Amino acid sequence: MIMVRKTLHKSIWFLTLVMLLGFTAKGDAQTESRTGPRGQSKKTISMDFDQVDIKVFIKFISELTGKNFVVDDKVRGKVTVLSPSKISVEEAYRVFESVLEVHGFTTVPAGKVIKVVPSVAARQKSVELRKTPGFVSRPDDRIITQIMPLLYANAQEVRKLLAPMVSKQGVVIAYAPTDTLIITDFQSNIQRLLSIVEEIDVEFQEANISVMPLEYASAEKLAESISRLLESKLKRVKGRRAEPPLRILSYERINMLIVLADRQNTQMVKALVKTLDQPTPKGAGNIQVVYLANAQAEELAKVLSGLPAKAPRKGKQPVISTEVRIVADKATNSLVITAKPEEFQVLEPIILKLDIPRKQVYVEALIMEVSVSLEVSVGVNWTGAGKTDLPFGADDGVAFGGSNTGAIGVLDQTGSLALPSGLTAGVVSFPITIGGITFSNLAAIINSSQTNNDFNVISTPQLMTLDN
């Protein structure tokens, strides 16, 4: 080992500079004194060394800082330092430690001297031990040992996380009984590891599992809704405290929720479930049954099913989505509609407008032959005062036809119509009197004709027609 001892003699300082300038490799160091704000002298230095022996560089730093160094025999090599701007003595010492770290060496304080040894061997030496984690404003590149007690995280798990981040010369050890990390590494790297540990060593509250059966709501949909609502609760809050995990799972077979959360969040979920697990209001479900009074269910279902198929204009939402389903029940002449409440509100007025009674016309005629001497009386007012059409007093009418070219008909003394002889009559209004017998409908006339030879029913045509 080489011992370099402190000296204050100006002759030794001058000799050192001469030796530096005498090397084959060029080296230059200039010092300058400046007066600080309070009149104190602050020494600055400009260092320029090109391929200087590392032991000579150590000796220069020793003379500059007044520190004593013990240099290991394994410390060898050439050093190049370029410093175009002037730096303080304290900064020069930090540059010295960085130079040693680059070349695989480090300093280890040992009493009044500082050992310069290979970095690999430094962790077995009596390096500085720090028990309290803390950040240093300007960390240096010397090897130290840092003890990091963990508050919440598991030491073994954190060690696995930090192991790849330690330098080749460093080591990290986990002490499980007290959840403590012991890290030996360069101080600058330990500062980085401290910041990582502070981010991951956070508190998590104990989580419990709760089962919440549902009566009305769908477990899957309710779990999704509540999870979205409480999503922000899963994010880490400011400081070292973070919210505990919150998980909401749905179990569809028996329609229940399984909640993993702490006591506070569990109570919050229970309150939300109590509020949301309500029966669906009448008419607010997705399945509706509409009974038709006039339209045919099968035909109307075809018309309504074609509405969603028509694509809307570009940029506009369809009034009825393609997920709407309309099924006709022929037995009850009704429509079974599966649609959202807002879509059913669109369909309902359309159904009401289509399910209307259509105008019907029913024509029932009687064609018969009547004896010449038989009197026929029609129970309607027959007046022909100045009218060109058949002026019946009632809405219904009577039409007569035959081969007689005389008057259409004559009124008897009672005001009833007496038919001309040999005339065939078509009657659409009742009551009608034939031969003193009054009939209220065609069926009665037909039954009477079977036993009465004074008149003969030839035909009873019927016709039913609908609008359109």
The pTM for the full model equals 0.36
Q: Is the model more confident about 437 or about 68?
A: 68
Q: Which of these, 206, 232, 226, lies nearest to 214 by C-alpha position?
A: 226
CA quadruple 227, 228, 230, 231: dihedral, nearest 10: 100
The pLDDT value recorded for residue 336 is 93
pLDDT of 395 strictly over 50: no
HSE-CB at 408 with a 13 A cutoff on CA atoms is 11
Q: How many C-beta atoms lie closer than 10 Å to residue 416's C-beta?
A: 17
How does residue 243 score in pLDDT terms, banded at 50, 70 and 90?
low
d(CA 186, CA 142): 5
The pLDDT value recorded for residue 94 is 82
Q: Is the model more confident about 3 or about 291?
A: 291
pLDDT of 235 strictly over 60: no
Q: Is the model more confident about 203 or about 336?
A: 336
How does residue 187 score in pLDDT terms, banded at 50, 70 and 90?
confident
Candidate ranges 169-183, 271-285, 366-380, 398-412; pick with highest mean pLDDT: 169-183
Domains 44-122 and 129-201 share a fold: yes
Q: Which of these, 402, 420, 403, lies nearest to 411 by C-alpha position?
A: 420
Over residues 333-345, mean pLDDT: 86
Q: Is the model more confident about 183 or about 5?
A: 183
d(CA 440, CA 16): 149
Q: Is the model more confident about 233 or about 162?
A: 162
Phi, psi angles (nearest 5°) of residue 224: -65, -40
How does residue 223 score in pLDDT terms, banded at 50, 70 and 90?
very high
- If one looks up domain 287-307+321-357 in CATH, what number appears? 3.30.1370.120
pLDDT of 39 strictly over 70: no
* 48-90 per-position pLDDT tens digit: 888 889 899 899 999 888 899 989 888 888 888 887 778 888 8
Extract the tokens encoding 51. 């391929």
Over residues 396-405, mean pLDDT: 44
pLDDT of 20 strictly over 80: no
* 440-451 per-position pLDDT tens digit: 665 666 666 556
- If one looks up domain 44-122 in CATH, what number appears? 3.30.1370.120
pLDDT of 411 strictly over 70: no
DSSP classification of residue 317: -
Domain ranges for the chain, please list them. Answer: 44-122, 129-201, 213-276, 287-307+321-357, 369-455
How does residue 398 score in pLDDT terms, banded at 50, 70 and 90?
very low
The pLDDT value recorded for residue 244 is 60
* Sign of the torsion angle spanned by Cα atoms 119, 123, 128, 131: positive
Candidate ranges 54-68, 141-155, 242-256, 370-384; pick with highest mean pLDDT: 54-68
How does residue 193 score in pLDDT terms, banded at 50, 70 and 90?
confident
Q: 3-class secondary structure for the chain?
A: CEEECCCCCHHHHHHHHHHHHHCCCCEEEEEEEEECCCCCEEEEEEEEEEEEEHHHHHHHHHHHHCCEEEECCCCCCEEEEECCCCEEHHHHHHHHHHHHHHCCEEEEEECCEEEEEEHHHHCCCCCEEECCCCCCCCCCCCEEEEEEECCCCCHHHHHHHHHHHCCCCCEEEEEHHHCEEEEEEEHHHHHHHHHHHHHHCCECCCCEEEEEECCCCCHHHHHHHHHHHCHHHHCCCCCCECCCCCEEEEEHHHCEEEEEECHHHHHHHHHHHHHHCCCCCCCCCCEEEEECCCCCHHHHHHHHHCCCCCCCCCCCCCCCCCCCEEEEECCCCEEEEECCHHHHHHHHHHHHHHCCCCCEEEEECCEEEECCCCCEEECCCECCCCCCCCCECCCCCEEEECCCCCCCCEECCCCCEECCCCCEEEECCCCEEECCEEECCHHHHHHHHCCCCCEEEEECCEEEEECC
DSSP classification of residue 332: T
The pLDDT value recorded for residue 328 is 92
The pLDDT value recorded for residue 8 is 36
- If one looks up domain 129-201 in CATH, what number appears? 3.30.1370.120
CA distances from 53 to 68, 89, 185 (A): 18, 21, 26
* 280-321 per-position pLDDT tens digit: 766 556 888 999 998 999 999 998 888 865 555 655 556 677
pLDDT of 410 strictly over 50: no
Q: Which of these, 402, 443, 451, 399, lies nearest to 422 by C-alpha position?
A: 402
How does residue 138 score in pLDDT terms, banded at 50, 70 and 90?
low
pLDDT of 192 strictly over 70: yes
* 412-433 per-position pLDDT tens digit: 444 444 444 444 444 445 666 6
CA distances from 269 to 208, 241, 265, 311 (A): 13, 21, 6, 42
